Amino acid sequence: MNYLIVYAHPYDKSFNHAILETLVKTLKNKNHQYEIIDLYEDQFNPAYDAIELSLFFSGKTADPLVTKYQNMIKKADHIVFVFPIWWNDLPAIVKGFIDKVMKKDFAYIFTANGLEGTLTYIKKAYIFTTASSTQWFIESYAGDAIKKTFMNATLKQIGIKDSSWHHISFTEADTLDKREDFLANIAKVID
């Protein structure tokens, strides 16, 4: 299996980084192929500029990282997102990744019935997140941006029908045992 990890955290001592390291170890142990997109290390610019926006309807890009990322996605059959939840939603750099990389004629086409996703070769998406809020709070009181919007709308619209979300809050990760349990569970989650 070919996994693509999209990692978005600027601090290499973060728990998100521990998740990334555990994913890499798990994928190696299971003899899966993988590549990593590190949005911060790559200094990916999530904002559309005038040139990029002028290419929107053609599905083209002026950003060489977008082309690189699209080529990496084409080789993957599983995609893994690792990021913190900031203000109950995706960080801007992840939203910008979706905005700029998931382009027309690459991730979707227009049809008479609306968008049709073309990334149907991606068998599953895994989303690993951290936040100060619990998953229950995010789902029940904060708009549920991860499940309702990211998983059940955005990913499905681009053709990724199967996804799972794995979250830990700072209160749930208040002891070393709880953090280690979360990391150990990653090996059980990954196919």
List per-residue pLDDT tens for the chain, 191 residues long. Answer: 999 999 999 999 999 999 999 999 999 999 999 999 999 999 999 999 999 999 999 999 999 999 999 999 999 999 999 999 999 999 999 999 999 999 999 999 999 988 899 999 999 999 999 999 989 999 889 989 999 999 999 999 999 999 999 999 988 888 889 999 999 999 999 97
How many domains does the structure of the chain reveal? Answer: 1
Q: What is the domain range of residue 92?
A: 2-189
CA 144, CA 107: separation in Å to the nearest integer? 24
Contact 128/147 with Cβ under 8 angstroms? no
Contact 173/134 with Cβ under 8 angstroms? no
Contact 58/69 with Cβ under 8 angstroms? no
Can you give the pLDDT at residue 144? Answer: 92
Can you give the pLDDT at residue 179? Answer: 93
Can you give the pLDDT at residue 170? Answer: 87
Can you give the pLDDT at residue 60? Answer: 97
CA 109, CA 125: separation in Å to the nearest integer? 20
Can you give the pLDDT at residue 101? Answer: 98
Contact 122/159 with Cβ under 8 angstroms? yes
Q: At 153, which CATH number?
A: 3.40.50.360
